[in-house]
Amino acid sequence: MSAAVADPAPAIFAALADPTRWRLLSTLAQQGEGTATTLAAELPVSRPAVIKHLGVLDEAGLVSRRRAGREVRFRVEPAQLDATARRMATLAASWDRRLAALKALAEE
């Protein structure tokens, strides 16, 4: 992931918004690890398209890559997803408090 990105949330949400990337991430989570070739065999997209999608997921910090001989193997990096989920939970709790306060005010 680029060090210039102060807030990773927009890149994460953009990466997850694409159904193919979401499916790639889900497949990697189930399998533990995979190559562009093995992932392309499970999706209705070409290997070059899988590589591009994996690049977006990598830039967002959602997957990592490691070289194993001639292969490049990808795996899910849950830290960014966990941090984003915590951030969304905090935001949801804030809205819940605001809505509860508004309800209490309206009921007075």
Kindly state whether residue 3 falls inside one of the protein's structural domains: no
Kindly state whether residue 1 falls inside one of the protein's structural domains: no
Q: What is the number of domains present in the chain? A: 1
Kindly state whether residue 102 falls inside one of the protein's structural domains: yes
Q: Which residues span the domain enclosing 86? A: 9-107
Kindly state whether residue 4 falls inside one of the protein's structural domains: no
| Per-residue pLDDT tens listing for the chain (108 residues) | 444 557 888 889 999 999 999 999 999 999 999 999 999 999 999 999 999 999 999 999 999 999 999 999 999 999 888 888 888 898 889 888 988 888 888 988
Domain harbouring 26, CATH code: 1.10.10.10
User: pTM value?
Assistant: 0.76
d(CA 99, CA 69): 55
Percentages helix, strand, coil for the chain (3-state, rounded to 5) are: 65, 15, 20
Kindly state whether residue 2 falls inside one of the protein's structural domains: no
Kindly state whether residue 96 falls inside one of the protein's structural domains: yes
Kindly state whether residue 17 falls inside one of the protein's structural domains: yes
